[in-house]
Structure 1
Amino acid sequence: MKKISALIIISGLFVVGTIYYGIFVWEYSGPTMKFIVEDGEGFSRINARLYNEGFSYSPRLFHHYYRLFVDEKLMIKSGEYTIPEHTTMYDLFPIIQKGGIESIAITIPEGKNLYEIARALEGAGVAGYREFVNSSKDPRLLQELGISFGSAEGFLYPDTYRFAKSTSAEKVIRVMVNEFKKKTENLKFRNHAYGLSPEQIIVLASIVEKETGAAHERRTVAGVFMNRLLKKIRLQSDPTVIYGNFEDFKGNIKKEDLENKNAYNTYRINGLPIGPIANPGRDAIEAVINPSRSLATATDHKIEVLY
Structure 2
Amino acid sequence: MFKKLLISLFCLFVLAVAGSSLWVWQGLQTLEQPVALNEPVLFSVPSGTGYGQVAHKLELEDLTGNSLWLKIHGRLFPEQTRLKAGEYEFTAGMSTLDMISMMVAGATKHWQVQFIEGWTFRDMRRALEASKRLEKVTTAWTDDQIMEAMGAEGDHPEGRFFPDTYLFTSDESDLDLLRRAFERMEDVLASEWEVRAESLPYKSPYEALIMASIVERETGAAHEREEVAGVFVRRLEQGMRLQTDPTVIYGMGENYQGRITRRDLQTRTDYNTYRIDGLPPTPIALPGKEAIHAALNPADGDALYFVARGDGTHKFSRTLQEHQKAVREFQLNRRSDYRSSPAPVTDPDSGGAE
TM-score range (shorter-chain normalised) is 0.5 to 0.7
Deviations 1:24-73 (A, max 9, x none): xxxxxxxxxxxxxxxxxxxxxxxxxxxxxxxxxxxxxxxxxxx9997775
Residues of 2 paired with 1:206 and 1:132: CA distance?
27
Name the counterpart of 1:93.
Answer: 83
Letter in 2 for 1:275: T
Report the CA distance between 1:215 and its aligned residue: 1.3
> Is it true that 1:194 corresponds to 2:236 in the alignment?
no
Summarize the Cα distance change of 1:239–1:89 in structure 2 as closer, same or farther, 3 Å threshold: farther
Deviations 1:87-112 (A, max 9, x none): x9666426368668865312222111
Residues of 2 paired with 1:79 and 1:252: CA distance?
49
Summarize the Cα distance change of 1:120–1:140 in structure 2 as closer, same or farther, 3 Å threshold: closer
Letter in 1 for 2:214: I
Tell me the TM-score normalized by structure 2: 0.55
Is contact 1:219–1:287 with CA below 8 Å preserved after alignment? yes
Report the CA distance between 1:164 and its aligned residue: 4.8
Is contact 2:236–2:242 with CA below 8 Å preserved after alignment? yes
SS in 2 for 1:186: helix
Deviations 1:1-20 (A, max 9, x none): xxxxxxxxxxxxxxxxxxxx
Report the CA distance between 1:254 and its aligned residue: 2.5
RMSD of aligned Cα (Å): 4.0
Summarize the Cα distance change of 1:228–1:222 in structure 2 as closer, same or farther, 3 Å threshold: same
Question: Which of residues 298, 311, 315 is equivalent to 1:291?
Answer: 298
Name the counterpart of 2:242.
Answer: 235
Question: Which of residues 159, 179, 183 is equivalent to 2:184?
Answer: 179
Name the counterpart of 1:282.
Answer: 289
Name the counterpart of 2:262.
Answer: 255
Report the CA distance between 1:179 and its aligned residue: 2.0
Residues of 1 paired with 2:140 and 2:292: CA distance?
24
Give unmatched runs, 5+ long, in structure 1.
1-66
Structure 1 stretch displaced more, 120-129 or 248-257: 120-129
Name the counterpart of 1:273.
Answer: 280
Is contact 1:263–1:269 with CA below 8 Å preserved after alignment? yes
Question: Which of residues 171, 175, 178 is equivalent to 1:170?
Answer: 175
> Is it true that 1:155 corresponds to 2:145 in the alignment?
no
Deviations 1:233-292 (A, max 9, x none): 111111111111333422222234323322112122111010000111111111111101
Structure 1 stretch displaced more, 215-224 or 74-83: 74-83
Residues of 1 paired with 2:174 and 2:87: CA distance?
29
Name the counterpart of 1:134.
Answer: 142
Letter in 2 for 1:158: P
Q: Identical aligned pairs, as a percentage?
A: 31
Name the counterpart of 1:108.
Answer: 115
* Greater radius of gyration (CA): 2
Is contact 2:114–2:127 with CA below 8 Å preserved after alignment? no
Is contact 2:226–2:295 with CA below 8 Å preserved after alignment? yes
Tell me the TM-score normalized by structure 1: 0.62
Give unmatched runs, 5+ long, in structure 2.
1-27, 49-77, 90-106, 309-313, 320-354
Residues of 2 paired with 1:160 and 1:219: CA distance?
24
Report the CA distance between 1:219 and its aligned residue: 0.6
Name the counterpart of 1:304.
Answer: 316
> Is it true that 1:123 corresponds to 2:130 in the alignment?
yes
Summarize the Cα distance change of 1:247–1:83 in structure 2 as closer, same or farther, 3 Å threshold: farther
Summarize the Cα distance change of 1:77–1:269 in structure 2 as closer, same or farther, 3 Å threshold: farther
Report the CA distance between 1:181 and its aligned residue: 3.1
Is contact 2:303–2:317 with CA below 8 Å preserved after alignment? yes
SS in 1 for 2:303: strand
Summarize the Cα distance change of 1:242–1:97 in structure 2 as closer, same or farther, 3 Å threshold: closer
Aligned residues: 236
Residues of 2 paired with 1:166 and 1:70: CA distance?
29
Name the counterpart of 1:218.
Answer: 225
Name the counterpart of 1:3.
Answer: none
Letter in 1 for 2:116: P
Residues of 2 paired with 1:107 and 1:271: CA distance?
32
